[in-house]
Structure 1
Amino acid sequence: MATAFAREGMKVMLADVETGALDKAVAALRATGADVQGVVCDVADPDSVQGAAQASFLAFGNIHVLCNNAGVAGGGGIDPISLDDWRWVIDVNLMGVVHGLRSFLPHIRGHGEGGHIINTASMAGMNAGLGLSPYSATKFAVVSMSEGLAAQLRPLGIGVSVLCPSYVRTRIGESGRNRPEQYGPSRQFAPDSPAAAIIAEIVRRLEAGLDPASVADRVVSAIHDDRFYVFTHPGMRAEVEERFSAILAAMDAVSA
């Protein structure tokens, strides 16, 4: 997304919890002539996000586009249920969005020039195919938050989009590398367990997933067209039809 925004002529502030990756991304974009800066930020920490916001305002003045994009993958399932996994995923995937809105939305409303907010959810926020999962739970929450936010911000000239990609070639499958000690170690599943098989399949699908650049192009298009839902893969309708049909059928049963 940063690359796509820079190509549009925007000034870009990158935020990342991983200093080395941040520095590499900033350098790569600057090499293209982009006006870009970076700030280290842990989205699970509200003070850290507020600091990133202040750094952005000082660097570029008025901010018009906010992307709440940070996310981690955490285990799920019914046995065992790890509270540390749930807390980590919720703090990043859900509260990270809350912290981003809390730090940037008053500024965007205040300058009165309009703007756009992109919240990254997932197809896991449209269809609970992963079963009992902190990841799916947070992504459903981000979709709901975004829908409510869009209705409230539309009269103010601020657009909202919720990005719901399927598998994309990112490193989210390796997000445990940045798991803070306070959440304890990541769980290790037996190699022959069902959970290990599910994780292996997810990793395979991520590696064969969509190029992030094509997702970014869809995001830029959604901002230009003020489009709320941003989907990325053909055939995604089939992933939600069964769930939506069941909901409608249950509603029809009440009214019958």
Structure 2
Amino acid sequence: MQNLPGKTAFVTGGASGIGLGIAKALKKAGMNVVIADIRQDHLDGAVAELGTDAVLALRLDVTDRAAFAAAADAAEARFGRLHLLVNNAGVAVVGPVDLASFGDWDWTMSVNLGGVINGIVTILPRILSHRDGGHIVNTASMSGLMPHPGAVIYTTSKAAVIGLSESMRGELEPRGVIVSAFCPGAVQSNIAESGKTRPPEYADTGYAETDRRRQQGGDWLHLFMTKEEVGERVREGIENDELYILTHHEFYDGVKDRAEAMVAAVPEREENPEYKAMFAMLFRNPIHAQERDRQTLKKGKNAEP
């Protein structure tokens, strides 16, 4: 998938924020781009920004499986084969876990994890069928790598997406499909407005007061990465076949601490050689060493002479 020109990308949540930034970068790289989004006003704005040449805008609720299939059909009717799926649509609820309702849990998981699953089940077979190769980018979050209090539901959904992506990577890469877990830090987006698309069946929330206070907490967007910056970072990650596409160096110490905590937690006890030999595939996944080597080589090439 290093050669993007002329190929087709399908981007969910693609009409604003991170998704629109990715769509802009992919179009600039020469791809046909399908932007699928639940909000028509965002789709209208995205088309005004991107134009209609090599762009197809589709209204889509990623939790609606029949609608997802219909959108994929429409994309193929317009552009032919699909090569890149960006499962980007997402929502967020934050607040103390003891205040969370079933509606808070079910809505977040249905979009952030269920939407990714629906994208995979709908579009992966189409990518595999044409044998041109392809790529799937699943938008997680640094919250999935660096869990913190107050975001239990969101973190759960995003950590699941990371694990899903890692498991898929080793299974699909031999078949010509690369999988990446995209874990951005703070980006200028509309995720704070996701409550406007919350379905009535999930209306019950324990976070009404928390949300009100958060909305009054000030505007920090000037500290966040722009959609254009993050879009170019994702394009780079796709072209480099990266397993983890990260955006912010500020997380370095936290990621290192977490990894070291896991290593330190491995018990010092004698191994069972028969058990280790029988289930060797469980104890080490080669994708991690491969990604370490890929990133080391990349950073070495970019180092100052």
TM-score, normalised by the number of residues in structure 2:
0.76
Judging changes above 3 Å, is the alpha-carbon distance between structure 1 residues 37 and 110 closer, same or farther for their aligned structure 2 residues? Answer: same
Deviations 1:69-90 (A, max 9, x none): 0000113423222110000000
Identify the residue that residue 137 of structure 1 maps to in structure 2: 156
Equivalent of residue 253 in structure 2, options 227, 233, 238: 238
Distance across 2 between alignment mates of 1:254 and 1:124: 32
Equivalent of residue 59 in structure 2, options 37, 40, 44: 40
Kindly tell me the number of residue pairs found equivalent between the two proteins: 249
Amino acid at match of 1:240: V
Identify the residue that residue 75 of structure 1 maps to in structure 2: 94
Q: 224-233 or 138-147, which moves further after superposition?
A: 224-233
Distance across 1 between alignment mates of 2:269 and 2:200: 49
Amino acid at match of 2:224: G
Give the Å deviation of 1:243: 2.1
Amino acid at match of 2:51: R
Identify the residue that residue 236 of structure 2 maps to in structure 1: 221
Judging changes above 3 Å, is the alpha-carbon distance between structure 1 residues 40 and 255 closer, same or farther for their aligned structure 2 residues? Answer: farther
Identify the residue that residue 224 of structure 2 maps to in structure 1: 209
Listed as ranges, the gaps of 5+ residues in structure 2 are 1-21, 272-305
Identify the residue that residue 3 of structure 1 maps to in structure 2: 24
Distance across 1 between alignment mates of 2:27 and 2:151: 38
Identify the residue that residue 208 of structure 2 maps to in structure 1: 188
Q: Is the 8 A contact 1:14 1:26 kept in 2?
A: no
Give the Å deviation of 1:180: 1.0
Q: Is the 8 A contact 1:75 1:85 kept in 2?
A: no
Give the Å deviation of 1:205: 4.4
Identify the residue that residue 66 of structure 1 maps to in structure 2: 85
Equivalent of residue 37 in structure 2, options 16, 26, 31: 16
Distance across 1 between alignment mates of 2:222 and 2:106: 27
Q: For residue 155 of structure 1, give the secondary structure of its aligned residue in structure 2.
A: helix
Q: Is the 8 A contact 1:16 1:22 kept in 2?
A: yes
Q: Is the 8 A contact 2:92 2:192 kept in 1?
A: yes
Deviations 1:38-73 (A, max 9, x none): 111001121121111111111111011110000001
Distance across 1 between alignment mates of 2:116 and 2:155: 15
Listed as ranges, the gaps of 5+ residues in structure 1 are none
Amino acid at match of 2:139: T
The alignment-based identity, stated in percent, is 37
Identify the residue that residue 123 of structure 1 maps to in structure 2: 142
Deviations 1:204-236 (A, max 9, x none): 445521111111111111111111111101222
1:26 aligns with 2:31: no
Give the Å deviation of 1:254: 5.1
Q: Is the 8 A contact 1:124 1:130 kept in 2?
A: no
Deviations 1:116-164 (A, max 9, x none): 1110000001011134611000000000000011111110111111110
Structure possessing the higher radius of gyration over alpha carbons? 2
Identify the residue that residue 162 of structure 1 maps to in structure 2: 181
Equivalent of residue 125 in structure 2, options 106, 116, 122: 106
Amino acid at match of 1:212: K
Q: Is the 8 A contact 2:101 2:204 kept in 1?
A: no
Amino acid at match of 1:230: I
Identify the residue that residue 110 of structure 2 maps to in structure 1: 91
Distance across 2 between alignment mates of 1:219 and 1:24: 22
Distance across 2 between alignment mates of 1:108 and 1:169: 31
Q: Is the 8 A contact 2:133 2:177 kept in 1?
A: yes
Greater relative contact order (Cα < 8 A, sep 6+) = 2
Q: Is the 8 A contact 1:130 1:136 kept in 2?
A: no
Q: 95-104 or 212-221, which moves further after superposition?
A: 212-221
